[in-house]
Amino acid sequence: MTSANVTILVVEDEPLVSMSIVAHLRDDGFRVLEAANADRSHRHPRAG
């Protein structure tokens, strides 16, 4: 399995922290979904 086959959901309410985490994960080849809080994270469809 490679990072290209992995989707990560980042839930972070601090925009600068979220941007940093997402940028690093994408640089490493991961597919990244973002949500600003737990309520919004439930809106993302399951990756599969």
| Residue carrying structure tokens 């994270």 | 41
Does 48 map to a domain?
no
Q: Is the pLDDT of residue 44 over 80?
A: no
DSSP symbol at 43: T
- What pLDDT, in 10s, does the model give residues 25-39? 999 999 999 999 888
Asked if 13 and 36 count as a contact pair (C-beta separation under 8 A), the reply is yes
**Residue 46 within any structural domain of the chain:** no
Please give the pLDDT value at position 1.
57
Residue 22: domain span: 3-41
At residue 9, does pLDDT exceed 90? yes
pTM of the model: 0.79
Residue 29 forms part of a structural domain: yes
What pLDDT is recorded for position 48?
A: 42
Q: Is 29 left (phi over 0), alpha (psi -120 to 50) or beta?
A: left
Mean pLDDT, the chain, rounded, equals 87
Tell me, what's the pLDDT at 10?
A: 96
Query: How many structural domains does the chain have?
Result: 1
The torsion of the CA quartet 47, 7, 44, 9, rounded to 10 degrees, works out to: 150
The terminus-to-terminus CA distance of the chain in angstroms comes to 14
